[in-house]
Homo-oligomer: A and B are copies of this chain.
Amino acid sequence: MTTVAFAGPVVALRFEDDVLVALDQTALPWAERWLPLRTADDVADAILRLAIRGAPLIGVAAGYGVALALLTDPTAAELERACAVLKGSRPTAVNLAWAVDRVARAASGAGDHPPLAAAALDEARAIHAEELAASDALASHGAGLLGSSRRLMTHCNTGALAAPGRGTALAVVAELAARGRVELVIATESRPLLQGARLTVYELARLGIPHELIVDSAAAGLIARGAVDAVIVGCDRVAANGDVANKVGTYGLALAARAAGIPFVVAGPTSTIDPACPSGAQIEIEERDPAEVLGAASEGGRAELAPAGTRSRNPAFDVTPAALVSALVTERGVVRGPSVDAIATLLGPR
């Protein structure tokens, strides 16, 4: 475990010399600490304690975890054990189970021979490469759409710390910055877990993109006063009609953007579109531990902001109606004014 501080794009994960090296997100932004993960159990532990977070990033890491297990013990028994350990680390993460199963299938092949570590590693690398390509494609589509927006606002963390490559909404921001188009990014702190203050600001600083951190409730007033040209956010789930579930606070930004007449853009891979979900009304809003509202992560550890026992409520997401979404940016392209038909066309025949 070493500490390295340097500028440049954040790479949350890299695989080299049979070691998965992961940036410890629990230490950010206070320290850049790299974790060398040598076994499936190391990977599972890093996922469990949120050193690696973000569904797509977890999936890639878990894929490598299966390969690491087989590199030391290429047996069917070890494969089964490693898959169980990895899937158990964040049982509700769909990407994780999907990636683990995909790598396990590749290692096992069709026959009865012992699983092949090399095949597992190739598949883990393939998943990683696919995610990188998707992020780049999404970034390019988004930058084409927002080429005239010099000042952007974003919410939560949607960069390289959340998804492989450059992420989703923040990948678009990074691409625009690479094209010399970004004057300012306003990042919301994103209470209660402060992904904006802790992670987005860290990524923007690393990328050398001019930015300002604000409290969440300052966003609407700044939008009204013309402080930004567009708002771009990620998405956790998109319904078939284009309604968007995303980090709590997104809906308020969409209302303010519409009132100010500026674009409100949602970026995410097509895998976040759920054609089986007709509209936002069918999206269940996860209520997280109310204790998160009573405190905050700080340099000195958790800080208590309200007395223990204070009653609180902690919806993790909100739903933005499709009517407020100017465009949906995916790795396959852009849907302007999302609708049932436009989204079905994007996804193509199934």
Least Cβ–Cβ distance between A312 and chain B, in angstroms:
4
- A251 at the binding interface (Cβ < 8 Å): yes
Residues on B with C-beta less than 8 A from A186 are 313
B293/A221 in contact, CB under 8 A:
no
A298/B305 in contact, CB under 8 A:
yes
Least Cβ–Cβ distance between A191 and chain B, in angstroms:
4
Residues on B with C-beta less than 8 A from A313 are 186, 212-214, 218, 222
Mask for A47-58, Cβ within 8 A of B = 1, else 0? 000000000000
A221/B189 in contact, CB under 8 A:
no
Interface size, chain A (Cβ < 8 Å): 58
A311/B211 in contact, CB under 8 A:
yes
| Nearest residue, chain B, Cβ from A227 | B313
Mask for A25-57, Cβ within 8 A of B = 1, else 0? 000011000000000000000000000000000
Least Cβ–Cβ distance between A243 and chain B, in angstroms:
11
B312/A212 in contact, CB under 8 A:
yes
- A207 at the binding interface (Cβ < 8 Å): no
**Distance of A344 Cα from B34 Cα, bound (Å):** 65
Copy total for this chain? 2
A213/B252 in contact, CB under 8 A:
no
If the complex has contacts A215-B191, A255-B255, are A296 and B306 also in contact, measured as CB distance less than 8 A? Answer: no
If the complex has contacts A212-B312, A306-B198, are A255 and B300 also in contact, measured as CB distance less than 8 A? Answer: no
A186-205 interface with B by 8 A CB criterion: 186, 188-192, 194, 197-198, 201, 205
Least Cβ–Cβ distance between A226 and chain B, in angstroms:
12
A289-332 interface with B by 8 A CB criterion: 293-300, 303-307, 310-315, 317-319
Pick 19 A–B contacts, CB within 8 A, sort by A: A192-B215, A194-B305, A198-B306, A201-B306, A211-B311, A214-B293, A216-B216, A216-B217, A218-B248, A220-B255, A221-B248, A221-B318, A221-B319, A224-B251, A298-B298, A298-B303, A300-B303, A300-B304, A303-B305
